[in-house]
Amino acid sequence: MGSLQEQLLKAGLIDEQKLEQAQSKPTRNKTGHQSGHGKPPRARTGHGKPSHQRSGKAAHKDKAAGSAKAESVAGKKRPQSDLEAAYRARARAEKQEREERKAKLVAEQEQRRQRNVQLSELVEGKLLNDDAAEIPRYFNYMNKIRRILLTESQLGEVNSGELGIAVLRSRPVLLDKETLSAFREIAPDLVPDLGGDEPSGEDWDEQYKGFEVPDDLRW
């Protein structure tokens, strides 16, 4: 026991128990490590970091990589069955067919519009329809009986072929032979055949039975 410890003990500043505890504490060597039976320093690996910290981060990294791989596999589309492929092919074919029908209908409507414009220009100022005409002339058109009102002289000319009838925008029009010929070249389906016997008015009345026709209506 050193002299300093004896003096402190005699002065009553410390007791024997505290002195024993102080003597039992390990001392540190010059490197800063504890001597005696203290715990050994933790092993360090790379960049001075403890090995248990690196192993924990490595495990976390491996776990994250495995999770990403699992998500990638799960995100892949499963193979289509033959039935699913057939349904998809059928849906595509039906869609294409609808689009083709629509495009064809639009094209036909545009052709009719352009044709009507051309026919209207052709007959402009050449229509022979008379608002005072009262004699009906019946004819077959698209499997229906239609009629146009004529004067007595016009009726004779129609029956002899000097005048002709065409249908423009659903309206029967009376034309001369030359204009009717040009009309037929553009739209032969709009020129009814007046040959044969004239349909009777009774057939026309029966066809339109139940329809009220205004008195001022002229075909």
172 located within any domain: yes
At 164-214, the pLDDT tens digits run 999 999 899 999 999 999 999 999 999 999 887 888 766 656 665 555 555
16 part of a folded domain: no
What gap in Å lies between CA 122 and CA 20, rounded to an integer? Answer: 132
Band (148; pLDDT cuts 50, 70, 90) = very high
Q: What ranges in 124-161 are assigned the alpha helix state H?
A: 152-160
d(CA 161, CA 194): 9
| Residue 126 belongs to a domain | no
| 66 occurs within a structural domain | no
Beta carbons within 10 angstroms of residue 158's beta carbon: 20
**What confidence category does residue 219 fall into, taking pLDDT thresholds of 50, 70 and 90?**
very low
Q: 198 is written with which tokens? A: 């004239």
Q: pTM for the full model? A: 0.52
- Residue 70 included in any domain: no
Q: Is residue 61 part of a domain?
A: no
Question: What is the H or E stretch that residue 45 is in?
Answer: strand 44-45
Q: What is the pLDDT of residues 57-88, one digit of tens each?
A: 555 566 666 665 655 555 555 666 888 888 89
In 71-192 the beta strands, taken as DSSP E runs, fall at: 135-141, 144-150, 163-168, 171-176
Model pLDDT for residues 13-43, shown as the tens digit of each residue: 556 666 666 666 555 554 555 544 555 555 5
Print the domain residue range for 158: 135-207
**What are the two backbone dihedrals, phi and then psi, of residue 12, each rounded to the nearest 5 degrees?**
80, 15
Q: Distance between CA atoms of 99 and 97, rounded to whole angstroms?
A: 5
Provide the number of structural domains found in the chain.
1
